[in-house]
Chains A and B, each alone.
Chain A
Amino acid sequence: MPYVAPIIIHRGRTEKVTIHLAYSVAGDQITSQIRKGVNPTAPLIATFTDIVISEDGRVITLTLDDSITSNIHATGGFMDLKRVTGGEPVTVLDEPLAVIFKNVVTA
């Protein structure tokens, strides 16, 4: 499998992850979580609470507020997307994305 760069989340900062798709997910329900392992029962690190889908349905913007990232103590984890369309949960990413959490300097 080709190398995929990890998502970088800075603790104490509001971070956005933007997903560009080749198809539309307009009208569908999108959820996303970061966990310590690739397993829905792995310890939960964070949940993206602010999820916006563009008008054409091809861009999903996920936001983690600084109030959430400030309390992350893990050094890394994994995230993926859950899309519910027509009542059915379907896969968006074939493989989870690696997530790295970094410290910042300015309080």
Chain B
Amino acid sequence: MPQRVDVDSKNNVRVTEVGPVGPAGYAPSGGPGESGPPELLPLTISRGLPWTNWGQFNGLPLSTISYGGFSATVAYAQAPFNAQIQNGSIPGIVFLGDGIPKRFSVTAFLTTFGPTPVDEADAEGARVVVTGHLVSLLDGSPSSVELMDEEIASVLLPGPPSDSELEELYSSNTMESTFTLSSTSAMIAIEVQIQDDSGDQFEVPVWNVALVRASIWEGEPNIIPRIDTDSPRTFRGMSFPRLSNAGFDHPESPWRMAATTNGFWVMRLKPDDDVGYTSDGSVSFSTARDEVVDGDDILFWATERLRVSEAPTHDEAVVRKLELDALQEQVDTLDPESDALPYGKLLYSKIYNDDVGINLNGTSDLTEGFSDPFLVPLGNLDSGWTDGEVKLTPPTDKIRVVMQCVGQALDGTESELNWAMRVKSTADVVSIYGGGWNRQVVGGGYDMTLRQLEVVYEVTPGVEIIWEWIMAISGGAGCRIGHVGPMLPTLTVWAA
């Protein structure tokens, strides 16, 4: 088990087991953490930070982006998370429509210490208010389930807690709820406000809000769910540096967005609330929409189409509709029996634009039929993604898996294409060919034309395998939101 050691200026030596792949203590086997039911939220939503920065404390996952040890880290390291979440929301995507009750919890608290200390007298009575909603699409009709509302975590920490206080802190500042979905998919949205003692918005430096985790799981209420590192869903958005990659704050209108396989969903929590919302970009956002539903507390609308306001105009390396068509045609018309195929026998191929909530197929021209707002979600969400799995029985001892993606950063801002895949045997699901996930970051800069990730796995002929993948576009460092163009991923498997 890899070990991490931090030494501070007071000669405090903190020794932690950083664990195998994934958050320490939450690997399905071998990790030191407590066992528990699988976490049902994607990792970036449930824990808020890339897993590469995770450590543990007594089996609890803690983000350790700073080097101050866990006590200081509790508050400081949440800054990337809370900078986006303070008085904002966490939209996520869940697929829980199985009729089984699920438990939902949020853990949050407020501190008065940090790089910009808050006057304790001013903070007296201040609290974290969490409002949660689950929005589902039942039989084609939107509806919402209130998870929690106006529940309050009010602990103020005058200074870094001792390690022994952390567990108690987690426990006393966790709000829980239970819900059941009968069918279909749903989106969860959590709104966090910091209020003063009179209920007004309280301005607190973002690093003084520790929103530690949000979890959904099945089973006993007191069991901490573990991250399932074998689930592609766990790593949805794993490369995203900020939670806002799954959300959207408009400077004037507190719309919240998320993408699902049903299309883009946009919602607004408590539209009558006079709550100031932060914004981290000057994104133009049209209120034009296909459908508006006015529920009890929620307005939202949905669409199934990616909409692009402007056609690409860059002269070179620009993704044009013809290129998208050509790529699609290339994959669709591959003849598995042909001797002329580049890598031998074709086992599987598909274009996965339909799985990312983006439907470019059937569009006659990218320059027509699109309006402004739907370019924004893709870039802002940084989450045009696809994931899934395919079962195959390879005829050879090697297979070659090729993932391709065509995309573009429309205005030259940085963007990234992140992808990962692995192949494992169904005969022994712990046997992963090729060393687990293979991951690359490609793209960036002005254009992102055809990118390809190619991995050859050694397998057992005649033994069924599962090939899993994740592919996502995300904004890189300094990427302003709303500037990543369309992507068209293709996936092929060859008997190499």
Contact = CB atoms under 8 A, between A and B. Distances in A.
A7 B32 CA distance: 27
B11 A8 contact: yes
A95 B3 CA distance: 9
Interface in A16-58: 16-23, 56, 58
B451 interface: no
A74 interface: no
A6 B32 contact: no
A22 B57 contact: yes
Contact of B13 (A2, A15, A19, A58): A19
Contact of A97 (B7, B9, B17, B69): B7
B446 to A, nearest CB: 35
A18 B5 contact: no
B6 interface: yes
Contacts of A6: 7
B11 A21 contact: no
B12 A95 contact: no
Q: How many A residues are at the interface, by size bracket? A: 20 to 34
A93 B11 contact: no
A37 B5 CA distance: 20
Contacts of B57: 22
A19 B3 CA distance: 14
Nearest to B71: A20
Contact of B12 (A2, A20, A23, A56): A20
Could you say which of B8, B12, B13, B69 has the most chain A C-beta atoms within 10 Å of its C-beta? B13
A21 B4 CA distance: 11
A16 B6 CA distance: 16
B9 to A, nearest CB: 7
Contacts of A15: 11
A4 interface: yes
Looking at A8, A17, A20, A95, the one whose CB has the most chain B CB atoms below 10 A away is A20
A20 B13 contact: yes
Contacts of A97: 5, 7, 13
B14 A7 contact: no
Interface string A87-107: 000001111010000000000
B16 interface: yes
Nearest to A20: B14
Given A8-B11, A56-B164, A22 B5 contact: no
B442 interface: no
The number of chain B residues touching the other chain, given as a range, is 20 to 34
Given A7-B13, A17-B11, A93 B163 contact: no
Interface in B9-38: 9-17, 32
B16 A18 contact: no
B87 interface: no
B4 A8 contact: no
A38 B44 CA distance: 41
A95 B56 contact: no
Nearest to B32: A22
Nearest to A92: B15
Interface in B156-198: 163-164
Nearest to A9: B11
B284 interface: no
Nearest to B24: A22
A95 B7 contact: no
Contact of A22 (B11, B13, B17, B164): B17
A25 B164 CA distance: 16
A93 B7 contact: no
A84 to B, nearest CB: 17
A93 B1 CA distance: 12
Contact of A5 (B3, B4, B7, B16): B7
Contact of A17 (B3, B13, B58): B13
B9 A8 contact: yes
18 contacts: A2-B4, A4-B6, A5-B7, A7-B11, A8-B11, A16-B11, A17-B11, A17-B13, A18-B10, A20-B12, A20-B163, A22-B16, A22-B17, A22-B58, A92-B15, A93-B5, A94-B5, A97-B13
Interface of B: 3-17, 32, 56-59, 69-70, 163-164
> What 5 A-B pairs are tightest by C-beta distance, nearest first?
A5-B7, A94-B3, A20-B14, A17-B11, A19-B13
Given A8-B9, A18-B12, A59-B163, 15 more contacts: A5-B8, A6-B7, A7-B7, A15-B11, A19-B15, A20-B12, A20-B15, A22-B17, A22-B56, A22-B59, A58-B163, A93-B15, A95-B5, A97-B7, A97-B13
